[in-house]
Amino acid sequence: MINIFEVNETNTMIEQENLDVRTITLGISLLDCCDADLDVLNRNIYDKITRLAHDLVSTGREIECEYGLPIVNTRISVTPIALVGGRACRCPEDFVTIARTLDEAARDTGVNFLGGYSALVSKGMTKADRDLIRSIPGALSSTERVCSSVNVGSTRTGINMDAVKLMGEIIRETAEATQENNSLGCAKLVVFCNAPDDNPFMAGAFHGVTEADAVINVGVSGPGVVKHALEGVRGENFEVLCETVKKTAFKVTRVGQLVAQEASERLGVPFGIVDLSLAPTPAVGDSVAEILEEMGLESAGAPGTTAALALLNDQVKKGGVMASSFVGGLSGAFIPVSEDQGMIDAVNRGALTIEKLEAMTCVCSVGLDMIAIPGTTSAATISGIIADEAAIGMVNQKTTAVRLIPVIGKDVGDTVEFGGLLGHAPVQRVNPFGCEDFVNRGGRIPAPIHSFKN
């Protein structure tokens, strides 16, 4: 039974501590849309998305008004398009027509992003995979709401270094194709290792092939709520600190569970998962970096940062799994630089480098996220960074990702404005030493020995 204290507590979280439902994401399978005729395929895709997502945005607004819970985004994820378009698409340009169809469907349903312009190539690439990847710069430069992701490795299969090399080139080409908008296309492109099938957050969301025909996944976020809770236990020992984070994560996840169940019932679509991820925004008081500093660090990036983040990530997961039977996606702490004012401040004061961020990704739920780098950074260097992150994910049996933005015309010390939830970022220094000979070897890095579980 919910009592008046819990009602007031939730109201305070919403009004003063930036608690929100970050996204209601409708996952849609497009496997039954496949056709050898490209025009028929595009028509099937548009018709299915608009039919299933017709009431998604209005349903989100109804829940928001009825419960007083801010629902920031409504989004769609679809089956990886490399699988859907393989029969009909003969070249990268054919895949771009599908991207435009997805963009049209997203616009007509009112969602702000649609994810799933994706390829899963952790062990090898088909012709369709290569064509889709080659099409990404054209797709992201000619659409507004489409997001793209490529999974280049996994603990089970190892790392596809041919795909890693190709993605370094594609990120550079995407930056150049969207340079008039501060290379914004790269903010909608993420490279994964161990990508989850049910992630509701963009830009990495796609609807996995093991999922139902349609499913509702909800992402809930509350960095400000966690920080406020920790303000009440300053100076206490680590047991108290951990218990406080865990209890707060439990309360936040219950909010997401409520919204997910309501959306599922009203849309007539099965409930999938709740993703409790501390996803920061540029808003004051909505920062993961500030949580770390509240734990006792002078600045994010100081010695002890990785340990503090590991504690935070673990306690968020422990609290979340007690609040819902279906916790999934990424569920942990995000550290996107441009979307977290505390991270931005840490970079500007010289406390936080790309190398330190890489160390932090060993213990959090994502990877090097929303980091602006000089526009002159080579494709090989970008590939090397991707390989490093993929290795962390592969060996540690966790999801890692890279969303780097080489901003054409910008250099270290410049600041880039992306707008909205994407925020702004200082351009960070990249290690100047080369890795071309390593990246150009080709082939695969084998899976680690502990991947053999059978």
| Closest to 278 in 3D by CA, of 241, 316, 232 | 316
Q: Which two tokens stand for residue 37?
A: 């005729």
């109201």: which residue's tokens? 11
The pTM for the full model equals 0.92
| Closest to 49 in 3D by CA, of 23, 22, 71, 81 | 81
Q: Cβ contacts of residue 123 below 8 Å, gap of 6+? A: 157, 158, 160, 444
pLDDT of residue 258: 84
* 419: amino acid identity, one letter: G
Q: Which two tokens stand for residue 92?
A: 């990268």
For residues 451 and 155, the answer to whether their CB atoms sit within 8 Å is yes
pLDDT of residue 21: 82
**Which residue positions in the chain have pLDDT lower than 50?**
1-5, 7, 16
| Closest to 365 in 3D by CA, of 280, 444, 286 | 280
Q: Compute the C-alpha angle 149/154/156, nearest 5°.
A: 150
pLDDT of residue 392: 96
Q: Is the peptide bond before 203 cis (omega within 30 degrees of 0)?
A: yes
For residues 198 and 159, the answer to whether their CB atoms sit within 8 Å is no
pLDDT of residue 249: 87
Across-strand partners of 405? Answer: 372
3-state DSSP helix/strand/coil % of the chain, to nearest 5: 45, 20, 35
How far apart CA 71 and CA 222 sit, in angstroms, is 12
pLDDT of residue 3: 47
| Closest to 77 in 3D by CA, of 115, 134, 21 | 115
Phi, psi values for residue 120, rounded to 5°? -110, 105
Listing DSSP states for 202-239 in one string gives SSS----TTS-SEEEEEEEE-HHHHHHHHHTTTT--HH
Going from the N-terminus, what domains does the chain have, and what CATH number goes with each?
23-193 (3.20.70.20), 218-445 (3.20.70.20)
How far apart CA 435 and CA 437 sit, in angstroms, is 6
